[in-house]
Amino acid sequence: MIEDKNQERTSISELGEFGLIEHLTQHFEIKQTSTVKGIGDDAAVLDFKSKKVVVTTDLLIERVHFDLSYIPLKHLGYKAIMVNLSDVYAMNAEATQVTVSIAVSNRFPLEALEELYAGIDVASKIYGIDVVGGDTTSSTTGLIISVTAIGQVDEKDVVYRNGAKPNDLLVVTGDLGAAYMGLQVLEREKEVFKVNPNNQPDLDLYTYIIERQLKPEARKDIIKLLKDLNVKPTSMIDISDGLSSEIIHLCKQSGVGVELYENKIPLDPQVISTCEEFDIDSTTIALNGGEDYELLMTISQEDFPKIKANPNLTVIGYMTEKDKGMNLVTRAETLIPLIAKGWNALNDQK
């Protein structure tokens, strides 16, 4: 983490654990009617009445999931919330609450944690969620962030990974590969900075892909859109580890095969140009890049007329019988078996 030596530094040990929690969470406001009691007691109290509750947890660890030499702490706080909300939206649910726990080493002053929580606060306000609890402790290995997200959904609206049927259409939101290519640019500039700390990178050509890496957005808008279009996906998953990995999850859970069309995969022009600059195949990046936090879903062919003109949704293939296998149909119209080569936190490090 690059620090300003003249910046004011307050040791977090001066506040103690409870004082630190109170200080960092004092600006969080309750927005959800389902939040009966938030921060300030032994546990939060939530009331969802007749709704089903969805719960998901993600862990972000310094030097495994993020690099503080180029991600600002405010962006990291925001991203930590997005990672979790994306999983809630992948269930076709409304995200309502989060808990945030951190383990932090003594190299982080109070001001650094204020920046982290400012990003969490911005995310909670934009997405209408309540921060209702968490924990703080010390760490000997840098910064660790654990977020648990809670959401609600009517039982009839829940979408799982296992509902896809042969002939269903495979649909994706947004575009793919941008977050990974943003990471490649940031990693390159980090290496340049190591050699020449006076070098100021010109990142104007990469604004979109860098934002997709540093400040991703969970697709809350798609859940409302699907409801407005009267479309309930037959299966759904969020794209965190790469398109190919997520397609394989849907196929295995649903007991189906797939034909994914290479020429249908949505790519932003900035992704294409940056792939050319790095001499990397753009399809490979879309399939394996990860961290896009778009939604991948299957829908019945009967619902195609409802979505066909929508710019947020792209049909990229269709589901087949299981014995047909999971295949990529290339631009040359040859079949290549899909392989999961997406990012794996257990054997790779960024």
Q: Residue 260 pairs with which residues in a beta bridge? A: 317, 328
Class of domain 16-157: alpha beta
Query: Quick check: helix, strand or coil at residue 122?
Result: helix
What letter would DSSP give residue 200?
P
- What pLDDT is stored for residue 343 in this prediction? 52
CB neighbours of residue 15 within 10 Å? 17
Domain extents for the chain? 16-157, 169-337
What pLDDT, on the 0 to 100 scale, is given for residue 16?
73
SS3 per residue for 254-305 = HCCEEEEEHHHCCCCHHHHHHHHHHCCCHHHHHHHCCCCCCEEEEECHHHHH
**pLDDT higher than 80, residue 301:** yes
Residues in CB range of 257: below 8 A, 6 or more apart: 166, 251, 319, 320, 321, 322, 323, 324, 325, 326, 327
* Tokens 């004082």, residue located: 19
pLDDT band, very low/low/confident/very high, at 196 (cuts 50, 70, 90): confident
* Cα–Cα distance for residue pair 45/145, rounded to 1 Å: 23
- Kindly report, residue by residue over 111-159, the tens digit of the pLDDT: 999 999 999 999 999 999 999 999 999 999 899 999 999 999 999 999 9
Chain segment 27-58, per-residue pLDDT in tens: 788 999 999 998 888 898 999 999 999 999 99
Q: Which CATH class is domain 169-337?
A: alpha beta
Residue 262 to residue 264: CA distance in whole angstroms: 5
Residues ≥6 apart with Cβ < 8 Å to 349: 63, 64
Average pLDDT (277-293) is: 96
* Range from 6-20, 32-46, 68-82, 285-299 carrying the lowest mean pLDDT: 6-20
The residue with greater pLDDT, 20 or 228, is 228
Average pLDDT over the chain, rounded to an integer: 92
Q: 78 by DSSP, 3-state: which?
A: helix
Residue 141: per-residue pLDDT = 84
Q: How many helices (H) and strands (E) does the chain have?
A: 10, 13
Neighbours of 211 (CB within 10 A): 15
Other CB atoms within 10 A of residue 182 CB? 27
- Residue with the bigger pLDDT between 29 and 347: it is 29
Please state which of the ranges 90-99, 239-248, 341-350 shows the lowest mean pLDDT: 341-350
Q: Which residue has the tokens 């799982």?
A: 160
Strand arrangement, sheet containing 257-261: 235-238, 295-299, 169-173, 313-320, 257-261, 326-329, 335-337
Q: What is the mean pLDDT of residues 230-258?
A: 97
Mean pLDDT lowest among 8-12, 139-143, 179-183, 283-287: 8-12
Per residue in 165-184, pLDDT (tens digit) is: 999 999 999 999 999 999 99
How many CB atoms within 10 Å of residue 278? 12
pLDDT tens digit sequence for 52-84? 999 999 999 999 999 999 999 999 999 999 999
At 346 the pLDDT is 45
Residue 350 confidence (pLDDT): 38
Statement: residue 255 has pLDDT above 60 = yes
Residues 130-140 have pLDDT tens digits of 999 999 999 99
pLDDT tops 50 at residue 242: yes
Residue 6 has pLDDT above 60, yes or no: no
Using CB atoms within 10 Å of the CB of residue 155, give its burial: 0 to 12 exposed, 13 to 18 middle, 19+ buried: exposed
In sequence order, what are the beta bridge partners of 52? 153
Provide the b/e sequence for 311-338 (b: ≥16 CB within 10 Å).
Answer: ebbbbbbbbbeeeeebbbbeeeeeeeeb
% of the chain surpassing 90 pLDDT: 81
The arithmetic mean of pLDDT across residues 309-335, rounded, is 97
Domains 16-157 and 169-337 share a fold: no
